[in-house]
Structure 1
Amino acid sequence: MRGFVNYFSIANCKRELKALAGWIRRRLRAIQLRLWKKPSRLHRRLKQLGKKPPFKFIKMNSWRNSLSPLSCVSMPNQWFEELGLYPIEKVNTGWLALSAFRK
């Protein structure tokens, strides 16, 4: 991802990179929900984060539920950065990136 973003960083595409980063995080949430398989594992993660039950049961293999508040709370954006996901929405684009290449 780092190489992809640096290749396109000379373009003025900040908004597109932000949308792409959101889509990638949503896709990773959907994959993680599918790996957990059961809502009880999601609820265990929410309890570890200090959230109070009762929690709503959701389908664990649904793309739609990867955007639900339960999955977003259990897997926040900082969680992905801690795991090593490159934050592509924070890359300088446009003229700022072009001036960095000239130095």
Structure 2
Amino acid sequence: AQVVEKLRPYLLGWKAYFGMAQTPKVWRRLDEWLRHRLRAIQLRHWKRPKTIYRELKALGASDDVANQVAGNCHRWWRNSNGVIKRVLTLAYFDRLGVPRLS
């Protein structure tokens, strides 16, 4: 939530400034990369396998998904683009207040 709070004004500014550009593919890719990065930051914040497992279960993940992500706990970037997308979805980031670029 703290990262999103600091990031939100920048994203809204970029969207307003470059909003007239006719490049929906670029915006979509940037949006995907941003959520990928936010998932990696969240995993890195949780640090330990037990914490990752507990937090993912609290968010509604299945045992299989929570075990798979917690098992590779030190590969934040790689994990943040895998099965964790089932738990940290667009709706999750919408609740946090991350603006959509695309």
**Structure with greater helix share of residues:** 2
1:16 to 5, 9, 26: 26
1:67 corresponds to which residue? 81
Moved more, 45-54 or 32-41: 45-54
Q: Which has the larger radius of gyration?
A: 1
Where structure 1 has 5 or more consecutive residues not aligned to the other structure, the ranges are: 90-103
Over 3 Å counting, the alpha-carbon distance change for 1:20 and 1:42 in structure 2 is: same
Gaps of at least 5 residues in structure 2 are: 1-10
Higher relative contact order (CA 8 A, sep 6+): 1
Alignment of 1:82 with 2:95, yes or no, is yes
Question: What is the percentage of aligned positions where both structures have the same residue?
Answer: 34
Deviates more, 1:8-17 or 1:52-61: 52-61
Distance in 2 between residues matched to 1:59 and 1:17, nearest whole Å: 30
Q: Which amino acid aligns with 1:24?
A: L
**Equivalent residue pairs, number:** 88
Runs of 4+ residues over 3 Å off in structure 1: 49-52
Partner of 1:2 in structure 2? 12
Relative to the length of structure 2, the TM-score reads 0.75
